[in-house]
Amino acid sequence: MILGKIKMILIGVGGFLAVLFAAYVRGRQDHADRIVRQQLEIYKDTRGKIDEASNVKRDADASREWLRNRNK
C-alpha cells in the first residue's frame, strides 16, 4: 500500500519533470528557428543589394576610380 503511493508520487513527479523538460526543449528550438529566420532575412537583403549593384555598367577604370574615391 505504501509502496503503491510512493510509486504514484514518483510517477507524478517524473511526469511533471518531463513536461518541464519538453517546454525547455521547445523554447530552445523556437530560439534556434528565430535565429535562422533572422539570418535568412539578412541574406535576402544582402542578396538584393548585390543584385542591384550588378546592374551598374562601368568599365574597369571607372570602377577602380570609384573604389579609390569611395572612402574620401
Query: Following CA atoms 27, 28, 34, 35 in sequence, which dihedral angle do they give, to the nearest 10 degrees?
Result: 160
pLDDT > 70 in the chain, percent: 94
Of 53 and 17, more confident? 17
Range(s) of the domain holding residue 55: 2-70
* Mean pLDDT rounded to a whole number for the chain: 90
Calpha distance 2→8 (Å, rounded): 10
pLDDT average, residue stretch 54-70: 81
pLDDT at res. 34? 97
What's the farthest any 2 CA atoms get from each other in the chain? 92
Q: Is the pLDDT of residue 51 over 90?
A: no
Give the per-residue pLDDT at 6. Answer: 93
Q: What's the rounded Cα separation, in Å, for the pair 25 and 50? A: 37
Lookup: cell for 39: 539570418
